[in-house]
Chain A
Amino acid sequence: DTEVTQTPKHLVMGMTNKKSLKCEQHMGHRAMYWYKQKAKKPPELMFVYSYEKLSINESVPSRFSPECPNSSLLNLHLHALQPEDSALYLCASSQFSGGGAHNEQFFGPGTRLTVL
């Protein structure tokens, strides 16, 4: 199974809502990532988890809260978002963190988030 799944596919939320994005992989990968992608822009790294520990936080506002309950699951908890946070949120996993040989990142299909 070389698939990364993400739920939900689409999410519309108000600025006062609390919601969560979920990501799952069963490839035994020990690194998982959250990216944010605005229209016609490249993906921007938000968080990196390595062996279930947060190893990189790219100065992301605290209204985004990542969680890695176990090696297969990655969540992104959302609270008090702004309309400018509307974007495609991508989850990825790789055997270990970083680039390097044979360490390709497998991306999920993303969650299209709209904040009203």
Chain B
Amino acid sequence: LAKTTQPISMDSYEGQEVNITCSHNNIATNDYITWYQQFPSQGPRFIIQGYKTKVTNEVASLFIPADRKSSTLSLPRVSLSDTAVYYCLVGDTGFQKLVFGTGTRLLVSP
């Protein structure tokens, strides 16, 4: 079971790029890395998923180095509405347990 470690909190300002790094030193060969966003009193929402190198979608980019022991979620030009908790999860298809780590609480200020 790959454990993840993230910074507890981060602060940013509107319009800046935010990079949140997740450490997963014992990631297994079949594991994928998935990031979720959660607003207060709502369920988490899928942001992005990747296996290696770089993945980009309309809201974020995910950078994964060759050794896959860490990953970085990049949010371009954040706005106030990006204030939320961001969770990094690691798991594979046959691995039924998904464990949420402590997450990173991002606060975006004007």
A-side interface residues toward B, CB under 8 Å? 4, 42-45, 48, 50, 55-56, 88, 90-92, 96-110, 112
Contact = CB atoms under 8 A, between A and B. Distances in A.
Contact of B97 (A43, A45, A104): A45
Interface in B78-94: 87, 89-94
B32 A101 contact: yes
Interface of B: 30-32, 34, 36, 41-46, 49, 51, 87, 89-103
Contact of A104 (B31, B42, B46): B46
A45 B41 contact: no
Given A107-B44, A110-B43, A99 B34 contact: yes
Nearest to B89: A99
B20 to A, nearest CB: 15
A59 to B, nearest CB: 12
Contacts of A99: 31-32, 34, 89-93, 95, 98
Nearest to A58: B97
A90 B103 contact: no
A105 B98 contact: yes
B46 A106 contact: yes
Contact of B34 (A44, A104, A109): A104
Given A42-B87, A42-B100, A42-B101, A100 B44 contact: no
Contact of B93 (A45, A48, A96, A104): A96
Contacts of A50: 96
Contacts of A90: 43-44
Given A98-B95, A101-B93, 16 more contacts: A42-B102, A45-B97, A48-B96, A48-B97, A88-B41, A96-B93, A99-B32, A99-B91, A99-B93, A101-B49, A103-B93, A107-B42, A107-B43, A107-B45, A109-B42, A112-B41
